Amino acid sequence: MPKKLPYGQSDFAKIIEQNYAYVDKTRYIELLENENNTFQFILRPRRFGKSLFLSLLENYYDINKKNEYESLFGNLYIGRNPTPEQGKYAILRFDFSVLDTETHDLFRKSFSNTVQERVINFLKMYSDIFKDVKQDIKLIKENNLGTDALEIAYTAAADADVPIFVIVDEYDNFANDLIAMGKDYKNEVQAGGLVRTFYKSLKAATSSVVKRIFITGVSPMMINDLTSGFNIATDYSLFPKYNEMFGFTKEEVEWVMKEAGVDRDLIKVDMEAYYNGYMFNEEGTNKVYNSQMVLYLFNMIMQLDKQPNEIVDANLKTDYGRLRSLVNNKSNGEKLLKIATDGKIAANITEKFSFDKMMSEDYFISLLFYIGMLTVDDVVEGQLYVKIPNYSIQTLYWDYVISYLRDMEDDNDGASTLVLAEKVREMAFRGNIKPFINYFTENYLKHLLSNRDLQRFNEKNIKMLMLAKLYDSGLYLPKSEDENVNGYVDIYAQKHPAKPTIKYEYVIEVKYAKTNAAEAEIAAKISEAKTQIEKYKKDNRFVDRNDVKFAALLFKGKGDCEVIYES
């Protein structure tokens, strides 16, 4: 009997007890327990399975669940390799993903209430072990102690001689909203701030009853801004041995498909291209998939008995939809456009950076890395390069480019988008690329680009704009630098898997010459483009296919374009 698909599930005990497919990550319990520092945090992009791992820790170390060890873990790695500290702790867990950040005052109230409620729940959970629980809860409620309630939790555990394992989920979830408020972020993480007070309290308790801390989040920025308020934890985010701790390897994806009975024949999208590609250290063993991207696809296929129209989880788009809000200056905006164009960028990923450093290129690129918009690519002559991890994330960059272009357009009523879609339909259903090219050059290259832009204009800029507009049409999922047996295709306009009636795909080669280019230079570019197209035709994917068209385009100066080859 197939196991249930764990899409949207983050309760470890429920997954095991109710026969969900669980990708065994329990070996990391052993690794973490063997680390010298017991105060730890690991950062990963959203929806990589962090909450589920915290639930795993909770179930493994909870003194209340010591006797459930065999039923929960017997079939897993840690069941065959138990560690000395299994079932030894009272678990005090905080989840800061649900705080109200509409205003600063609401945030402070929400933060205090969340801490207080978790402490009360903690006391109730261990009422058979702790003394005077009812009186402690009454004291907390009557005095509305907020973060001060932590001291009561520490005292209760110390009196019972039970160590505390503190788990913090989404420690920085509210940081972006506070940053948008301006000075309120700094007020909370500096001396006297509510957030700093919370972490200062945890730090003080590590000298007595708090023996383990594990924190997850997305960015190291807030931990660094807390400075001495919480400087005891080790960040293991970039350690090679933890590269595959969150997300799925290719083998794990295959295992989930088999265990849950997902029909492989219904999967039309290239999962590796769309969902894989994450590396968090250049020495990591395997690239990993965003687990929720994969589980979303599998879930929709099992629900619909076909591949869904939307192959990127809408929740993921919401999570990454803040991309534009990160562009707080012109320099960062230009970096995003460069990344969207080139697909990669040189970087120095830093483990520590603060809000005040966000204007710096290294820190901005590091933030994009931590939130999952970039990932490790390669090291060349000692220089680390990071790249867009997969096509799903690439589409979010296209969304940014499209919004950037729309801000430059004269009309904001959407008319241009409708016209564009009609031109792309000419390509898709009637095999005629020229209407799209003519519209593209007239409305984007000639009218939107300033003379200053033209001074540094090249083929990559044209490709970026064209890719964004093809994507915006909703008919194609275009790929840049698509790997071909004879090179890399500038643009492969691949039909959207949700639009099976599209008749034509396109392989497009782009060349650019400045206005004053010599005739010999232009002739050389034309010859080179035609030669490359002929080579691309020999790729096994395109041989004997009547639905793939080939085009070579020569752009000259500010937007003039000639279709120099078409077949």
Q: Say what the pLDDT of residue 273 is.
A: 84
What is residue 403's predicted lDDT score, i.e. its pLDDT? 73
Please classify residue 544 by burial: count the beta carbons closer than 10 Å to its beta carbon, then call 0-12 exposed, 13-18 middle and 19+ buried.
exposed
Query: Which is it for strands 344-346 and 383-387: parallel, antiparallel or unpaired?
Result: antiparallel
CA distance 189 to 192: 8
Separation CA 374–CA 128 (nearest Å): 48
pTM of the model: 0.89
CB of 97 within 8 A of CB of 170?
Answer: yes
Q: Hey, how many other C-beta atoms are within 10 angstroms of the C-beta on 452?
A: 8
Alpha-carbon distance of 487 to 467, in angstroms, equals 19
**Pick from 174, 226, 221: nearest CA to 200:** 226
Give residue 451's pLDDT. 45
User: What pLDDT sits at residue 332?
Assistant: 78
CATH assignment of 24-242? 3.40.50
Question: Which residues belong to CATH 3.40.50 in the chain?
Answer: 24-242
**CB of 490 closer than 8 Å to CB of 511:** no
The distance of Cα 125 from the centroid of its chain, to the nearest Å, equals 34
Describe the strand order of the beta sheet including 375-380 as a list of residue ranges.
Answer: 344-346, 383-387, 375-380
Reading the chain (567 residues) residue by residue, the pLDDT tens digits are 899 999 999 999 999 999 999 999 999 999 999 999 999 999 999 889 999 999 999 999 999 999 999 999 999 999 999 999 999 999 999 999 888 888 888 999 999 999 999 999 999 999 999 999 999 999 999 999 999 999 999 999 999 999 999 999 999 888 767 766 666 777 788 778 899 999 999 999 999 999 999 999 998 888 888 866 688 999 999 999 999 999 999 999 999 999 999 999 999 888 888 898 899 999 998 999 999 999 999 999 999 999 888 887 777 666 555 666 666 667 777 788 788 877 889 988 888 777 776 667 778 888 899 989 999 998 988 899 999 999 888 888 887 777 776 666 554 445 577 888 899 999 999 999 999 998 888 877 766 555 445 455 677 778 888 888 888 888 888 888 777 667 788 889 988 877 889 999 999 999 888 888 888 998 998 899 899 989 899 888 888 889 999 999 888 876 678 888 788
Q: Give the β-pairing of 479-484 and 383-387.
A: unpaired
User: What string of DSSP letters covers 138-172?
Assistant: HHHHHHT-GGGHHHHHHHHHHHTT--EEEEEESTT
